[in-house]
Amino acid sequence: MKATCIVDSDFIVGPVRSRTFGSFVEHLGRCVYTGLYEPDHPTATPEGFRSDVLDLVKQLGVTTIRYPGGNFVSGYQWTDGVGPVDQRPRRLDLAWHSTEPNKVGVDEFMAWARQAGVEPMMAVNLGTAGVDQALALLEYCNAPAGSYWADQRVANASVEPHRVKMWCLGNEMDGPWQMGHKTATEYGRAAAETARAMRMIDPGVELVVCGSSGVGMPTFGSWEHEVLSQTYDQVDMVSAHAYYFEEEGDRDSFLASAIDMDYFIDSVVATADAVKAATKQSKTIGISFDEWNVWYQHRAESRPPSGDDWPVAPVLLEDHYTVADAVVVGNLLMSLLRHTDRVYSASLAQLVNVIAPIMTETGGRAWTQTTFHPFALTARHAVGEVLKTAIDCPSHDTAKFGDTPLVDAVATRDPATGQMSVFLVNRSCEEAADVEIKLRGFDSAAIIEAITLSHVDSGWIASADDPSDQVLSVNTTPVVAQGRVCIKVPAVSWTLLRLATVAED
Question: Which residues form the interface with ligand AHR (CB under 6 A)?
Answer: 26, 69-71, 171-172, 291, 349-350
Could you list the active site residues? Answer: 172, 291
Nearer to ligand AHR among residue 83 and residue 214 (C-beta): 214
Minimum CB–partner distance for residue 73 and ligand AHR (Å): 8
The torsion angles phi and psi of 394, rounded to 5 degrees, stand at -65, 155
Q: Is the distance from CB of 223 to CB of 173 less than 8 angstroms?
A: no
User: To which H or E segment does residue 11 belong?
Assistant: strand 2-15
Cβ count within 10 A of residue 472: 19
Nearer to ligand AHR among residue 70 and residue 490 (C-beta): 70
Minimum CB–partner distance for residue 70 and ligand AHR (Å): 3
Nearer to ligand AHR among residue 69 and residue 490 (C-beta): 69
Distance CA 413, CA 499 (A): 9
Distance CA 191, CA 188 (A): 5
Distance CA 77, CA 209 (A): 20
C-alpha closest to that of 241 among 403, 386, 69: 69
Minimum CB–partner distance for residue 496 and ligand AHR (Å): 27
Q: Is the distance from CB of 67 to CB of 351 less than 8 angstroms?
A: no
Nearer to ligand AHR among residue 238 and residue 422 (C-beta): 238
Q: Is the distance from CB of 454 to CB of 473 less than 8 angstroms?
A: yes
Q: Is the distance from CB of 20 to CB of 346 less than 8 angstroms?
A: yes
Minimum CB–partner distance for residue 260 and ligand AHR (Å): 17
Nearer to ligand AHR among residue 96 and residue 344 (C-beta): 96
Nearer to ligand AHR among residue 356 and residue 472 (C-beta): 356
User: To which H or E segment does residue 254 belong?
Assistant: helix 251-255
Task: Using CB atoms within 10 Å of the CB of residue 33, give its burial: 0 to 12 exposed, 13 to 18 middle, 19+ buried.
Answer: buried
Nearer to ligand AHR among residue 187 and residue 442 (C-beta): 187
Nearer to ligand AHR among residue 118 and residue 349 (C-beta): 349
C-alpha closest to that of 190 among 242, 134, 245, 243: 134
Q: Is the distance from CB of 363 to CB of 41 less than 8 angstroms?
A: yes
Q: Which residues of 326-351 are buried (b: 16+ CB within 10 A; e: fewer)?
A: bbbbbbbbbbbbbbbebbbbbbbbbb
C-alpha closest to that of 29 among 359, 402, 374: 359
Distance CA 342, CA 337 (A): 10
Distance CA 406, CA 395 (A): 5
Chain centroid to CA 180: how far?
24
CB contact set of 114 (below 8 Å; sequence gap of 6+): none
